[in-house]
Amino acid sequence: MTSLSNALKFLLRSVAIGLLISCISLFGGYAQPASAEAAAAPRYIAADGTDLTAFAQCLPKQLSQPSFKRAIEQSGNDFLQKVFDVKNDYRAYKLDEAEIQHLDCMQQKGVIPQIER
């Protein structure tokens, strides 16, 4: 009879511990983040500590998607001149609408792109 009693106690303890762990994990999954701002706007930090959040937020979808057609079109838009930094003002190059939109958004966020420094 004592072995049956010990087995029932062990079973009850196991069930109670299982329920406790389930409750903790269930309520822990719904915990609010420490900062609502941190949860709303993810930050993008490079390995060297540079904050790339504004760059990522301003990046138009068409510039973030691979497109062979767009690459061919860009090859005619002063591409090599941009690569070798031939002109003094970056906006003097032939830019497409997505590039202009990205540069304007960066300036609105207070970031001066390195190409304009």
Domain boundaries, the chain: 1-31, 36-116
What is the distance between the alpha carbons of residues 98 and 96, in angstroms, rounded to a whole number? 6
Does pTM top 0.75 for this prediction?
no
* pLDDT at site 27: 66
The span from the CA of 13 to the CA of 26, in Å, is: 20
Overall residue count recorded for the chain in this entry: 117
pLDDT at 40 over 80: no
Tell me the range of 22-36, 48-62, 84-98 where mean pLDDT is highest: 48-62
Instruction: Judge contact between 45 and 51, C-beta under 8 A.
Output: yes
Q: Tell me what pLDDT residue 99 has.
A: 83
- Token readout for 73 is 């079109």
